């Protein structure tokens, strides 16, 4: 241990006895930093948990990649075979999507009607597993609706709804064959499922599938796999990843997370201003000691290091305490789920918490950086103190 660190620790340990007021201010600094760090960890942990939960629901209802071609895919089986040759592709299934109007009595709502291959769909998305009522696969002229639409219209298995779509745009009756729940209002209200044959009958015989959904080994590798599939198929095919399909949503969530990080970091910044007061009062109280250090040969840099280390130790103590409290609260929220949410609004009954290592490192780094930064001025004041002036009245 070098003598600068030894003196910094000795000065801080002796505050309670020699300068009790400064000791209280130092303790407030530690607690303020701890509060800010803990708040940052909990808030960002909850936001990351919500983001992860949202991503899971989006990925569950959509393929990782969507292959499309202008006018529809001409040779489905050949295209499927070429896609499966790409390393990292797990499964692929054709999709036929169209916007239609669903009617029941005098009620109507616009929905996305997705025609799927009943046998292959389970390997590409989790919509089959999301079916809560009814038996998969859908039969001829059968429609699977989302739970929100079913709840709003009190739909049950076997009820009849009318769909308006296709070139003729004439209402056609369809039987409700099942109800699925994805956990996202948009999908559960505005997404309906049927077999590709059913959708083709609605749109007209010979209608080509609009695209091919692809599932890959890792969803986070979607940009990389998109390029690989694009190289395999070439023009006129184009590939879209699930990230691109929801880019606006994720950009908004990222901006919100960054904004919260900046706002809550101000709590740490305000707490760190107490470090300035602590160190300045410590410098005043240790004027004689500073003069003696300079008189026996200590350099300005060494004196500055003593007080810079003292401020850093206060920051380290507050950051460590805050990190421990924040991580403990995140673990408790995740395990015991003692904060309940209305499930009918959020589709979950507890706060989802996920403490990412990147968030933890960013918070700890920010807190320590601010602590060191605010310690620079008081340590500079101590270093600039002349030995003769410091010992003039001793």
pLDDT at 388: 57
pLDDT of 390 reads 53
Q: 174 and 314: one domain?
A: no
- CB crowding 218-251: b at 16 or more within 10 Å, else e: ebeebeebbebbbebbeeebebbbbbeebeeebe
With a cut of 90, say whether residue 10 has pLDDT above it: no
Encoded tokens for 270? 């305000």
Confidence (pLDDT) at 387: 64
Q: Does residue 281 sit in the same domain as residue 212?
A: no
Place of tokens 């009190």: 154
pLDDT of residue 316: 92
- Decide which of 235, 263, 279 is a domain's last residue: 235
Domain that holds residue 277: 3-57+249-390
Q: What is the pLDDT of residues 111-163, one digit of tens each?
A: 999 999 988 999 999 999 999 998 888 988 899 999 989 999 998 999 899 99
Least confident span in 53-67, 264-278, 355-369: 264-278
Q: Are residues 100 and 193 in the same domain?
A: yes
The 3-state secondary structure of 146-208 reads EHHHHHHCCCCCCCEEEEEECCCCEEEEEEEEEEECCCCHHHHHHEEEEEHHHHHHHHCCCCC
Cα distance between residue 244 and residue 174, in whole Å: 33
Beta bridge mates, 180: 131, 146
Residue-wise pLDDT tens digits, 166-221: 766 688 899 999 999 988 888 889 999 999 998 888 888 777 888 999 999 988 88
φ/ψ (deg, to 5) at 355: -90, 100
Contact, 75 vs 138, CB < 8 A? no
3-state SS, residue 93: strand
Residue 307 CA to residue 299 CA, distance in Å, equals: 13
The CB density around residue 169, as the number of other CB atoms within 10 Å, is 9
State how far the alpha carbon of 299 is from the alpha carbons of 4, 387, 394, in Å. 11, 11, 21
pLDDT at 320: 94
**Would you give the distance in Å from CA 303 to the centre of its chain?**
44
Residues 172 and 261 placed together within one structural domain of the fold: no
Structure tokens at 371: 């602590």
Residues 263 and 349 in one domain: yes
Rounded-to-integer distance, Cα 108 and Cα 101, Å? 7
Residues 182 and 273 grouped into a single domain: no
Beta bridge partners of 237: 69
User: Looking at the structure, do residues 325 and 279 belong to the same domain, yes or no?
Assistant: yes
Name the token pair of 247: 């880019």
The pLDDT of residue 144 is 95
Q: Let me know if residue 8 belongs to a domain.
A: yes
263 within domain boundaries? yes
Q: Which of 212, 235, 258 is the last residue of a domain?
A: 235
Report pLDDT digits (tens) over 310-365.
Answer: 888 999 999 999 999 999 999 988 888 777 777 666 666 677 888 888 889 989 99
The answer to whether position 62 is within a domain reads: no
Pick from 235, 262, 291: which residue ends a domain? Answer: 235
Question: Given this model, what pLDDT does residue 1 score?
Answer: 57
Q: How far is CA 270 from CA 22, 190, 256, 320, in A?
A: 17, 47, 22, 18
The pLDDT value recorded for residue 345 is 67
Are residues 80 and 224 located together in one domain of the fold? yes
Number of domains in the chain: 2
Residue 291 clears pLDDT 60, i.e. is over it: yes
343/337 Cα distance (integer angstroms): 13
Q: Is residue 270 situated within a structural domain?
A: yes
Three-class SS of 257-291 = HHHHHHHHHHHHHHHHHHHHHHHHHHHHHCHHHHH
Q: Residue 12: pLDDT band by 50, 70, 90 thresholds?
A: confident
Residue, of 286 and 332, whose pLDDT is higher: 332
Residues 23 and 151 occupy one common structural domain: no
Report yes or no on 385 lying in a domain. yes
The label of the residue with tokens 């209002």 reads: 185
CB 160 within 8 A of CB 142: no
Q: Is the residue at 242 inside a domain?
A: no
Nearest of 103, 102, 183 to residue 148 by alpha carbon: 183
Domain shared by 186 and 294, yes or no: no
**Residue 337 Rama label (left phi>0; alpha psi -120 to 50; beta):** left
Residue 225 sits in the same domain as residue 264: no
211-268 pLDDT tens trace: 999 999 988 889 899 999 999 988 888 999 998 888 888 888 888 888 888 888 888 8
Residue-averaged pLDDT of the chain: 86
Is 87 within a domain? yes
Residue 63 in any domain: the answer is: no
How many whole angstroms separate alpha carbon 249 and alpha carbon 202?
32
Residues 49 and 88 in one domain: no
The model carries a pTM of 0.79
**pLDDT computed for residue 236 by the predictor:** 87
Lowest mean pLDDT among 14-23, 317-326, 374-383: 14-23
What is the pLDDT, as a whole number, of residue 15?
66
Q: Give the CA dihedral 317, 377, 9, 322, nearest 10 degrees.
A: 0
Residue with token string 């500073």? 290
């Amino acid at each position: 241990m070098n003598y600068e660190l030894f003196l910094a620790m000795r000065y801080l340990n002796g505050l309670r006895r020699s300068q009790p007021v400064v000791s209280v201010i130092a303790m407030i600094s530690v607690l303020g930093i701890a509060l800010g760090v803990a708040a940052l960890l909990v808030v960002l942990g909850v936001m990351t948990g919500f983001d992860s939960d949202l991503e899971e629901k989006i990925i569950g209802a959509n393929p990782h990649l969507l292959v499309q071609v202008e006018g529809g895919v001409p040779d489905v089986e050949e295209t499927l075979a070429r896609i499966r040759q790409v390393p990292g592709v797990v499964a692929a299934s054709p999709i036929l999507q169209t916007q239609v109007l669903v009617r029941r009595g005098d009620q109507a709502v616009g929905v996305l009607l997705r025609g799927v291959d009943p046998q292959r769909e389970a390997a590409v998305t989790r919509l089959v597993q999301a079916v809560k009522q009814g038996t998969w696969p859908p039969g001829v002229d059968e429609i699977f609706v989302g739970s929100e639409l079913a709840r709003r219209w009190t739909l049950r298995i076997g009820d009849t709804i009318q769909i308006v779509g296709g070139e003729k745009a004439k209402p056609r009756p369809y039987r409700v064959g099942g109800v699925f729940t994805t956990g996202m209002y948009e999908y559960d209200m505005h997404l309906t499922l049927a077999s590709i044959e059913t959708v083709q009958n609605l749109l007209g015989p010979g209608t080509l599938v609009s695209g091919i959904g692809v599932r890959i080994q890792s969803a986070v590798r979607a940009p990389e796999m998109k390029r690989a599939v694009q190289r395999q198929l070439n023009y006129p095919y184009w590939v879209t990843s699930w990230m691109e399909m929801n880019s606006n949503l994720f950009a908004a969530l990222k901006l919100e997370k960054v904004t919260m990080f900046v706002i809550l970091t101000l709590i740490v910044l305000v707490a760190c201003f107490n470090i300035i007061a602590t160190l300045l009062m410590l410098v005043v109280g240790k004027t004689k000691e500073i003069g003696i250090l300079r008189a026996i040969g200590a350099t300005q840099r060494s004196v500055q290091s003593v007080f810079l280390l003292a401020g850093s130790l206060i920051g380290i103590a507050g950051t460590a305490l805050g990190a421990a409290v924040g991580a403990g609260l995140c673990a408790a929220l995740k395990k015991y789920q003692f904060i309940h949410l209305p499930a009918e609004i959020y589709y979950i009954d507890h706060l989802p918490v996920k403490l990412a290592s990147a968030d933890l490192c960013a918070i700890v780094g920010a807190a320590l950086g601010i602590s060191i930064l605010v310690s620079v001025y008081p340590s500079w004041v101590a270093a600039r103190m002349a030995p003769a002036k410091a010992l003039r009245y001793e």
